[in-house]
Structure 1
Amino acid sequence: MVTRLVLVLGDQLTETVAALRKADKDRDVVVMAEVADETAYVGHHPKKIALIFAAMRKFAARLRDDGWDVAYSELDDTDNTGSIPGELLRRADQYSAGEVLATEPGEWRLIAALDDTPLKVTQLEDDRFVASHKDFEDWAKGRKALRMEYFYREMRRKTGLMMDGDEPAGDKWNYDHDNRKPASGEVDTAPMQFTPDETVEEVLDLVEARFSDNFGTLRPFTFATDTGQARRALAHFVKHALPKFGDYQDAMMEGERYLWHSHLSASINIGLLDPLEVCKAAEDAWRAGDVPINAAEGFIRQIIGWREYVRGIYFHEGPDYPSRNGLGHKRDLPWFYWGGETKMRCVEAAVAQTRDDAYAHHIQRLMVTGNFALLAGIDPHQVHEWYLSVYIDAFEWVEAPNTVGMSQFADDGIIASKPYVSSGNYINRMSDHCRHCAYDVNAKSGEDDACPFNTLYWHFLDRHRKRFGENGRMANMYRSWDRMDQEKRHAILRAAERTLKKLDEGEVV
């Protein structure tokens, strides 16, 4: 029999991934490769590179222990060609193989690269998701609006998660209304942390030597790098943090980087945890009476609702989706996103946390860094590449719809029915950042110390009135703007223009 190559990518570290299931352990060779191309298409956070390489090396060892022949290329191997297609060609020559089994990558860029490889490459759909491509297309067909809530209900019916027969548990599909409390008092939990073993330390040394100029702090590194660790982290979260996750999932607090969030998204996205396994653990805790229904439902919705939905959107919309710019925003990403000085405490805290941990939770991403970028008219592709670079859980299939669609409204409303913009009031309500800020969140009439979120919020509405003036969900915003006297409106717009001028000239905002 002719040898086949079986490609396993760094975010496909699941023993039941499609290509491995179809492969023959007795004849096929698994190809895994740390390659320069995958570290450089954006400047990934060092922790992200370290996580993927360490988890890949451990996964390769696990496959070998299970009897697989694994051809593994480390980044510094002298024969490493630097690209996935190049490594496939090199291994095909080494093993006289003419065929490659691959699980479809999660980025159009890599799908195209495999299609262009001069080998017979069979790309199998990645079925580690609840919804197949066909499932999503069938659901989307004929719909005027592709809203997540209705897709989520289909996923609940399909999986049976938190269902009582044909009806949702508790007679409600969505408990989001109960999940918007600002945090108060002390946080009594933290994600499980892991001490690097020998394999991880070797990778950390490699990343430190090769990627020290990338944005982000490499050490300490405490992420799970194998399935056993990831499952321990899951059990820890369900027991200690999930009970309060629902109430406080939108909260932000000074000095508290994780609150009651799971910190499991990277483990899920690279394949160390099965998403349904994670959801079932949350459901079991609720059915046992250990977790309130709003916490279990809210957490499960993030996975079988939102995560599945954005993947569907990414593949439904096609390769050009990450480049869309429906609002025509062209301003360059400010330097403070890369750690430069800013007087905005909420932004400073979110960026510092991102630099140190390669992590920020969804409200920090959406309503702080994303909100500011949208209000200030930042080029959404630059915003997209920033998020793809700096977060450990960011892969294009999940990151691009969250950024281009949800955060920046650059897809003209495919995901969101209105732009997610807010003044400083929202941040003040959901966090304590404003107490420590150089700006006054209560100043709203154009004073020099007025929170930039306040003035830019009205500037955004004013400059995009033609686009959003007839949007029913934004009618109250425009009525409030119109009720202000003309002098006050002009003062606000002048203050916003001063802020935008500072951004353009590289001054501290």
Structure 2
Amino acid sequence: MKHYKTLRLILGDQLNPSHSWFKQKDNETLYIIAELAQETHYVKHHIQKLCAFFHAMENFASALSQAGFNVLHLTLDETCNDNNLPDLLNRIAKQYQCSVIEYQYPDEFRLHSQLEQFKKTHMLSVRAVDSEHFLFPFSQIKKRFVKNKHVTMEHFYRDMRKQFDILMDSGKPEGGKWNFDSNNRNKFSKNDIHDIPSPKLFTNDVKSIISRLNKHKVAYFGSIDNQLTWPTTRKQAISSLDYFCEYLLVNFGKFQDAMTDQSKHNTSLYHSRLSFALNTKILHPLYVIKRVITEYKQRPSEISISQVEGFIRQILGWREYVRAIYWVNMPDYATKNQLQANNKMPSYFWTGSTKMNCLSHALTQSLETSYAHHIQRLMVIGNFCMLTGINPDDVDNWYLGVYIDAIEWVEMPNTRGMSQFADDGIIATKPYAASGNYINKMSDYCKRCQYDVKQKVGEKACPLNSLYWNFMHTHRSKLEKNPRIGMVYKNWDRQTEEQKTVLLKQAAAHLIDLESL
């Protein structure tokens, strides 16, 4: 057996072919990419998420090997006796007589803590390096962000635009505005739905991975038909990016918040389907941004700046922002529950079987495809959880498990912070609470719902309506001084005491029996 001086660990979300590790080959270095039991059960995962990570890891190991690097790709069959990541590293380092272990800084606190402890206690030389993926340096996070303090995302985003000279014109924002969000709130018409292009899908065979998961009794949920449609190689990811630029970018911003239950063939609508490739580092964010800008510059008469800015804001702004929020506030962030939400998550979160069409569609889509776009996650599923007081621990675990792109650094701030307002307003300056009116404004869900979105009380009334007012009433002492929602309480106070009592009574009945909704 060949021996190696250095063992380098590559985690499942560190599939970055441009990392400086790969600038030159070294016959004294062994790279290890391993399926590990601990990564399958820290939360219960969707089967498509498990398959996507394992398939992408296998593909990356194969690509490195073909490029001439020494790679050890281990499946669950080979790691089933390793209790955790340190055990695996100890065993492999001993087996190949390595004297140095190197790893890239993980993006999840649990892995960071595990490897930091390993580094402190191990007899060998253990070194960590940057993952070379994010645009806002890890070393700058604590200089810009303060624990438990709100930092306005818009200001951060503008600074990032300036720093990287993205959509800038002589020091000013291209198009005369920094943010075109007001142009990004259109609802689909019937003709719009008909015109949505088919999604770019792939046929990645994952039968062997499913068999392996079953063999090792890995608990999972969701469905899959042995074929994974998500991009799991760099070639596939670039193909998805090219497809997005050619066919979807032209209407991305316009419809980025829109929802429909009538596009059965395309649940991702005009969204890019790149989040998994980005979050596993198969694609670099700046590569994606530059490709989108190139398309915009080449087709100025077809693609408006509001389409491009809306997309870039999500990557250059929001994605980098939530990562910083996560790291400056962990580990305390994972226990924040300022609204004292402690209700149990209803069983239909695992089946989609609820009479509320908006929630049923978003849940069913999530369970079937391991995907929902940001407004479905925030304003349908997240809004319902917040209005009904579901424990944010349960909400975190569900989101982290169900979505193919969910890694804790991006999931938790979006869920516990933006969605549930459980973080004392560190991210959101107001709770994103909404009645049925918002759902009706941004979707066609209400047209085919058993409930009437225009009714506030009664057997046929949309549950979101009374739940919304109950939420605002319950948390008034925390929220009424918030300048962004002061008008809500003026509207509430205009109602008669009888109207208030009936609304609150209806909401109380829903909260007692959430399973019946």
> What is the CA-CA distance between 1:210 and the residue it aligns to?
5.2
Structure 1's 229 and 106: CA in aligned 2 closer, same or farther, altered over 3 A? same
CA distance in 1, matches of 2:432, 2:373: 16
Could you say which residue in structure 2 is the equivalent of 1:163? Answer: 168
1:188 is aligned, of 191, 196, 203, to 196
Paired residue type of 2:30: V
Consecutive aligned runs of 4 or more in structure 1 exceeding 6 Å deviation: none
Kept after mapping to 2: 8 A contact 1:32/1:73: yes
Aligned with residue 466 of structure 1, among 458, 461, 477 = 477
Q: 2:23 and 2:9 mapped to 1: Cα distance?
A: 12
Partner residue of 1:286 out of 292, 296, 321:
296
Q: Report if aligned partners of 1:247, 1:295 keep a CA contact under 8 Å in 2.
A: yes
Which residue is 1:230 aligned to? 237
> What SS class does the counterpart of residue 76 from structure 2 fall into?
coil
3-state SS, counterpart of residue 76 of structure 1:
helix
1:177 equivalent among 159, 182, 188: 182
Moved more, 163-172 or 49-58: 163-172
Structure 1: how far apart are the matches of 2:80 and 2:381? 41
Counterpart code for 1:354 = S
The alignment yields a C-alpha RMSD, in angstroms, of: 1.9
Residue 202 (str. 1) matches residue 214 (str. 2): no
Q: Would you say the 8 A contact 1:10–1:52 is kept in 2?
A: yes
Matched, 1:247 2:254: yes
Cα 1:132–1:491 change in 2 (3 A) is: same
Judged with a 3 Å threshold, the aligned counterparts in structure 2 of structure 1 residues 167 and 211 are, in CA distance, closer, same or farther, namely: farther
> Aligned residue for 2:409?
397
Q: How does 1:66-77 map to 2 (within 5 A)?
A: 66-77=67-78
Instruction: Please report the TM-score for the alignment, with normalisation by the length of structure 1.
Output: 0.95
2:464 corresponds to: 453
Distance 1:455 1:211 in 2: 43
Amino acid at match of 2:504: L
Task: Please state whether the residue corresponding to 1:241 is helix, strand or coil.
Answer: helix
Q: Conserved in 2, the CA contact under 8 Å of 1:157 and 1:163?
A: yes
Tell me what 2:90 maps to. Answer: 89
| SS of residue in 2 equivalent to 1:5 | strand
Find the counterpart in structure 1 of residue 284 from structure 2.
Answer: 274
* Aligned CA distance change for structure 1 residues 225 and 276 (closer, same or farther; 3 Å): same
TM-score by length of 2: 0.93
Structure-2 residue corresponding to 1:413 = 425
* Alignment-derived partner of residue 25 in structure 1: 26
Deviations 1:182-223 (A, max 9, x none): 0112143132111225xx443244346556852211224211
Distance 1:443 1:145, change over 3 A: same
CA distance in 2, matches of 1:272, 1:291: 26
Change (3 A) 1:79 1:482: closer
- Residue 25 of structure 1 contacts residue 67 of structure 1 at CA under 8 Å; is this kept in 2? no
Q: In structure 1, how many angstroms separate the alpha carbons of the residues matched to 2:37 and 2:145?
A: 37
Residue of structure 2 equivalent to 1:379: 391
Task: Single out whichever of 401-410 and 187-196 deviates more from structure 2.
Answer: 187-196
Question: How much has 1:23 moved relative to structure 2?
Answer: 8.2
Question: Counterparts of 1:340 and 1:280 in 2: how far apart (Å)?
Answer: 39
Whether the 8 Å contact between 2:149 and 2:426 is mirrored in structure 1 is no
**What's the secondary structure of 1:116's corresponding residue?**
helix
CA contact (8 A) 2:467 2:507 kept: yes
Matched residues in 1 for 2:34 and 2:387: separation? 41
Matched to 2:36, the amino acid is V
Partner of 2:367: 355
String of CA shifts for 1:51-109, please: whole Å, max 9, x gaps: 11111111111111112111221112266514222211111111112321111111110
Alignment correspondent of 1:480: 491
For 1:48 and 1:404, how far apart are their aligned partners in 2?
21
Matched, 1:3 2:14: no
> After the TM superposition, which of the residue ranges 63-72 and 306-315 deviates more from structure 2?
63-72
Structure 2 SS opposite 1:247: coil
The answer to whether the Cα contact below 8 Å between 1:176 and 1:298 also exists between their aligned partners in 2 is: yes
Match of 1:12 in 2: 14
SS at match of 1:77: helix
- 1:325-364 matches, within 5 Å, as 325-339=337-351, 341-364=353-376
- Superposed CA deviations along residues 314-351 of structure 1, whole A, max 9, x for unmatched, are 11112221221111111111111111521110110001
1:378-423 deviations in Å (ceiling 9; x for gaps): 1111101110000000000000100011001111000010000000
Residue pairs, 1:492-507, within 5 angstroms: 492-503=503-514, 507=515
| Distance in 1, Cα, partners of 2:309 & 2:215 | 43
Q: Indicate if the aligned counterparts of 1:6 and 1:28 stay in contact, CA closer than 8 A.
A: yes
Q: Which runs of 5+ in 2 are unaligned?
A: none
Q: Is the 8 A contact 1:324 1:381 kept in 2?
A: no
**Long gaps (5+) in structure 1:** none
Aligned partners of 1:341 and 1:508 also within 8 Å: no
Offset at residue 457 of structure 1 (A): 0.3
Give the deviation of 1:2 after TM superposition: 6.5
